[in-house]
Amino acid sequence: KNEVEQSPQNLTAQEGEFITINCSYSVGISALHWLQQHPGGGIVSLFMLSSGKKKHGRLIATINIQEKHSSLHITASHPRDSAVYICAVKITGSARQLTFGSGTQLTVLP
Amino acid sequence: NAGVMQNPRHLVRRRGQEARLRCSPMKGHSHVYWYRQLPEEGLKFMVYLQKENIIDESGMPKERFSAEFPKEGPSILRIQQVVRGDSAAYFCASSRSGEGESPLHFGNGTRLTVT
């Protein structure tokens, strides 16, 4: 079983829809990251969380430490949001920087 | 304020050749991480370096792969005698410290193709 599980693997939405991507992890962590990867492009760090909730524009990330779960929400989705969204965790006590989920491919249709 | 710079962006090598991938971290960052993304797979940690030191190389294949981060100059990921299975995107990231709360900044990656 992977230490970081994401769902769904693929998600297609219509422009304007509210989107939720989920991430569950099975280890103790000191931080959780949400990353965005465009096709053929680099990786952008969207959020880094250790507790609570963060908001940036139309993006909201939440984390529940007790339930070992995080969600990434996109409000009023737009075709330019189409990308792979990756959840990654920093395992407590590990020098290794980030263990990754397998990613969620989001396609927003106009 | 330049971000993490990786070069080359694309690299084609024939089987048996050497590949050298470079990563210049963000200014003020002394922690560098290399990750590999195989086709149709997720990102996997390879190695974590600070200036002149390898902190964690538990994700590196035991043979043919090496990494360094010298006092001066970029971090280098070196793959000797490349094989087709080495074809992947290699990403570098940097941070100011190695603590979990320190934000990571990624480069655009080097896409290695072994023919």
| C-alpha distance from residue A28 to each of A4, A25, A94, B112 (Å) | 11, 8, 10, 34
Q: Is B106 close to A35, i.e. CB distance below 8 A?
A: yes
Cα A84 from chain centroid (whole Å): 9
**Pick from A41, A45, A95: CB nearest B103:** A45
Alpha-carbon gap, residue B88 to B81, rounded angstroms: 15
Confidence band of A73 (pLDDT split at 50, 70, 90): very high
Predicted confidence at residue A1, as pLDDT, reads 65
| Prior bond of B8 cis (ω within 30°) | yes
- With an 8 Å Cβ cutoff, the interface of chain A facing chain B consists of 29-31, 33, 35, 41-45, 48, 50, 86, 88, 90, 92, 95-103
Closest CA to B69 of B42, B90, B51, B82: B51
Closest CA to A88 of B57, B20, B100: B100
Nearest CA in chain B to A44: B106
| Contact list, B48 vs chain A (CB under 8 Å) | 95-97
Q: What is the DSSP letter of A80?
A: G
pLDDT for residue A42 is more than 90: no
Cα B114 from chain centroid (whole Å): 17
Stretch A36-47: mean pLDDT, rounded?
A: 87
Predicted confidence at residue B111, as pLDDT, reads 95
Predicted confidence at residue B39, as pLDDT, reads 83
